[in-house]
Chains A and B, each alone.
Chain A
Amino acid sequence: MMDAFLQGTATIFQPMVFLSILVGVALGISVGVTAIGGMVACALFLPFVYQLPPELALSFLVALTSVVFTGGSITSVLLGVPGTAPNAATVIDGFPMAQKGEAGRALGAAIGSSMFGGMASVFFAIAMIPVLKPIVLSFRAPEMFMVILLGLSFLAIMAAGSPVKGMISGLLGVLLALIGFQGVSGVYRFTYGSTFLSDGLDLNGVVLGIFALTEMFDMIVKGKETISMEVRKVGFKSVFQGVKDIWIHKWLWLRCSVIGYVVGIIPAIGGNAAMFVAYGHAKQTSKRPEQFGKGCVEGVIGPESANNASSAGDLLTTMAFGIPGSAVMALLMGGFLLVGVTPGPVMIKDNLPLVFTLLIGIAVANGIAGIICLLIAPQLIKISFIRIDYLFVVISAVVFIGAFIGKLSLLDLVVATVFGVLGYLMKRFGYSREALLLGLILGELFEFYLTRSLKIFGPTFFMTPTSLVILFFIIVVFAYPWLKDAFSRRSPQGA
């Protein structure tokens, strides 16, 4: 394994391979900023690369898809536009930070967390290569159900002031997730004959509407002239402050990177869920949870560490099993096949140097992307001072293009607009948009795995060892506030 590691690392620093990573990074950041998403970008560039040698083609594609979130974090913080669906959680606290004049600090925290999270996950992945197969194969329907239940248990934490409103938001999200074809019964639910709705609501349109358009409406209603109403620190110092915040909250960063990586290796769940679980964990473990949603840097560090960390896990599972864990990985796997590399156990066994090349490529790509973005961040902060009128035009266009480009359907513009309205009303009346989104992401899987577990394993499906471990974590999530109080009372300061 060490030989393969060294060989793989050496390949990365060959001039052409390094150049392909650089090009992938540049395009990945641009794609993230323009809200197109990794999957569409991969589909667009696939025809250009498949004639290249595997190391060049695959390094390019892996670099492109793994740094999209870094680019997406920039627009999440500065404009309230999630560049990709997994960047949505960053908007919750990143954008308010920009509004308070702390855009530099938020950018530094977001970019730095993405960079370090993506790099750290590669080490987790390399360490897990020998034990990956039994871990992933132990996740059957009951275990998947418990993981999703663990994710949904964070709904309670998402609800800011009112638990009842938070639960209504979350359950509404779960209900919206049920629109479309139900594979178990073969019934189309709430589609009314529309093929557009038969695959359910497209997450892109929903996320762009409920965050980006909502924030735009909010700023127009409040009559704001610019995003940032106050000039505090501008320049590299403020960006560096954000990076320093990661060191101050290093254990949070580490825990959220682990959360992102672990959720990433579990097929079907992926980065979308990881960001909210990490956000919920960050809020729950914070000393000032009441600040979340109003511009708290921990609310940026958590989700951004997680979403970049999930890519290495996702890629490793795809390479190890030949089974893609997400739509982006399905496309990437197509790229593998076109260049003549077959993902699967044979790849791990016979082509381990290439596996290391790609994993280390993720680390290198994240490092380069982070450095580039940190260097240009002080200039990007000036976006916060551009007049809202101009930004309204830009954001509306980016939202509509981002919503359209996924399925090339105009009806996604309607979806984005409807969710923009819903999101604004939810924000105004104190409902939790993030709870709705978490419900939407996990809702269909929740129903699917519950039905499947009951049918195959019966009512005692949750009694498997792995399920019981996850159940323990669910109990910890709910009991955490009391445990925290009990521990602080017992400590010398609290006594």
Chain B
Amino acid sequence: MKIKSSSVFLIFILLVMVFTAREAIRFGHSEAMLAPLLLSLAILVLGAIELTRELRSKDKRPRTVEDEDLPPTVVARAKGGSDMGRFAMALGWIGGFAFGIYLLGFFLSTLFFAFLYLKVRGRGWLSSTGFAAGFTVLLYAIFQMGLRSQLYRGVLFGG
């Protein structure tokens, strides 16, 4: 029996609830323990009901963009690669941006992230550079000069 990705997600949630219930018991105080324990048990019960329903469900086909009410051009464009693959790519970019912020700070990492992302996505040199520089300058003007907020400078620059 092939398990749907939605069931995998639900199983993951249930495993987290088992962990949560176990941790709750270790709190010691009954006041601290009661709510997390009851909630994790309730989610376990509801999750088990939903998991049973999903596993018994006859529709075993995974959801794709064709299931959505989208124009054909979007569906055609999205057919390159799987949904999860595209999601992983987007997540990778977000994760890389966050790591870049840690290393270089907000402004430099925005500059590099914007340029790299647009270039990899097929934009021209001029539009990628121009947008990256312009957007970074705008952020700097608003947050650093205008609002004087203390955005992180990056661990490489003493942040």
* Touch A–B, Cβ below 8 Å: yes
Chain B contacts of A34 at CB under 8 A? 142-143
B151 touches A404 (CB 8 A): yes
Chain A proximity mask over B134-157: 1 for CB below 8 Å, otherwise 0? 010001001100011111100000
B98 touches A185 (CB 8 A): no
Chain A contacts of B13 at CB under 8 A? 168, 172
B123 touches A389 (CB 8 A): yes
B87 touches A400 (CB 8 A): no
Chain B contacts of A224 at CB under 8 A? 74
Q: Which of B13-68 contact A (CB under 8 A)?
A: 13, 20, 23-24, 27-29, 31-32, 35-36, 39-40, 42-43, 46-47, 49-50, 53, 63, 65, 68
A10 at interface by CB-CB < 8 Å: no
* Choice from A36, A408, A413, A420 contacting B101 with Cβ under 8 Å: A413
Q: Which of B88-112 contact A (CB under 8 A)?
A: 89-91, 93-95, 97-98, 101-102, 106, 110
B126 at interface by CB-CB < 8 Å: no
A187 touches B29 (CB 8 A): yes
- A-B residue pairs in contact (CB < 8 Å), sample of 15: A164-B49, A168-B43, A175-B43, A184-B31, A189-B36, A217-B90, A221-B87, A222-B65, A223-B78, A224-B74, A389-B123, A396-B97, A396-B113, A400-B98, A413-B98
A405 touches B43 (CB 8 A): no
Q: Which chain B residues have a beta carbon within 8 Å of chain A's beta carbons?
A: 5-6, 9-10, 13, 20, 23-24, 27-29, 31-32, 35-36, 39-40, 42-43, 46-47, 49-50, 53, 63, 65, 68, 70-71, 74-75, 77-78, 80, 83, 86-87, 89-91, 93-95, 97-98, 101-102, 106, 110, 113-114, 117-118, 121, 123, 131-132, 135, 139, 142-143, 147-152
A401 at interface by CB-CB < 8 Å: yes
Also in contact, A393 and B95, with CB within 8 A (given A167-B46, A175-B39)? no
The smallest C-beta distance from B105 to any residue of chain A, in angstroms, reads 10
The smallest C-beta distance from A187 to any residue of chain B, in angstroms, reads 4
Q: Tell me whether chain A's interface is mostly helix, strand or loop, or mixed.
A: helix
A51 at interface by CB-CB < 8 Å: no
* Choice from A44, A184, A221, A429 contacting B9 with Cβ under 8 Å: A429
Contacts between the two chains (Cβ within 8 Å), count: 159
B139 touches A401 (CB 8 A): yes
A482 at interface by CB-CB < 8 Å: no
A447 touches B35 (CB 8 A): yes
A414 touches B121 (CB 8 A): no
Chain A contacts of B89 at CB under 8 A? 220
B70 touches A222 (CB 8 A): yes
A393 touches B113 (CB 8 A): yes
Chain B contacts of A394 at CB under 8 A? 135
Chain A residue with minimal CB distance to B106?
Answer: A401
A89 at interface by CB-CB < 8 Å: no
Chain B proximity mask over A391-434: 1 for CB below 8 Å, otherwise 0? 01110110011001100101001100100110011001110000
A405 touches B39 (CB 8 A): no
B117 touches A165 (CB 8 A): no
- How many chain A residues sit at the interface, stated as a range, is 35 or more
Q: Which of A145-196 contact B (CB under 8 A)?
A: 162, 164-165, 167-168, 171-172, 174-175, 178, 182, 184-185, 187, 189-190
Q: Which of A429-452 contact B (CB under 8 A)?
A: 429-430, 447, 451
B147 touches A223 (CB 8 A): no
Q: Which 5 A-B pairs have the closest CB atoms?
A: A223-B78, A223-B77, A187-B32, A429-B6, A185-B29
Docked complex Cα distance between A127 and B48 (Å): 51
A165 touches B152 (CB 8 A): no
Q: Which of A109-148 contact B (CB under 8 A)?
A: none
* Choice from A182, A213, A401, A430 contacting B94 with Cβ under 8 Å: A213
Docked complex Cα distance between A424 and B46 (Å): 21
B65 touches A221 (CB 8 A): yes
Chain B contacts of A229 at CB under 8 A? 70-71, 74
A225 at interface by CB-CB < 8 Å: yes
Docked complex Cα distance between A230 and B69 (Å): 13
Docked complex Cα distance between A397 and B23 (Å): 36
B31 touches A168 (CB 8 A): no
* Choice from A168, A389, A404, A405 contacting B117 with Cβ under 8 Å: A389
The smallest C-beta distance from B113 to any residue of chain A, in angstroms, reads 7
* Choice from A221, A392, A410, A430 contacting B78 with Cβ under 8 Å: A221
B50 touches A168 (CB 8 A): yes
Docked complex Cα distance between A187 and B27 (Å): 7
Chain B proximity mask over A198-225: 1 for CB below 8 Å, otherwise 0? 0000000000000001001100111111
B101 touches A400 (CB 8 A): yes
Docked complex Cα distance between A153 and B147 (Å): 40
Docked complex Cα distance between A84 and B117 (Å): 27
Docked complex Cα distance between A394 and B136 (Å): 10
Given contacts A172-B13, A189-B24, A389-B118, 19 further A-B contacts (CB under 8 A): A34-B142, A36-B149, A172-B43, A174-B39, A182-B32, A189-B32, A190-B23, A217-B90, A220-B86, A221-B65, A221-B83, A221-B90, A400-B106, A401-B143, A401-B151, A425-B9, A428-B63, A430-B6, A447-B35
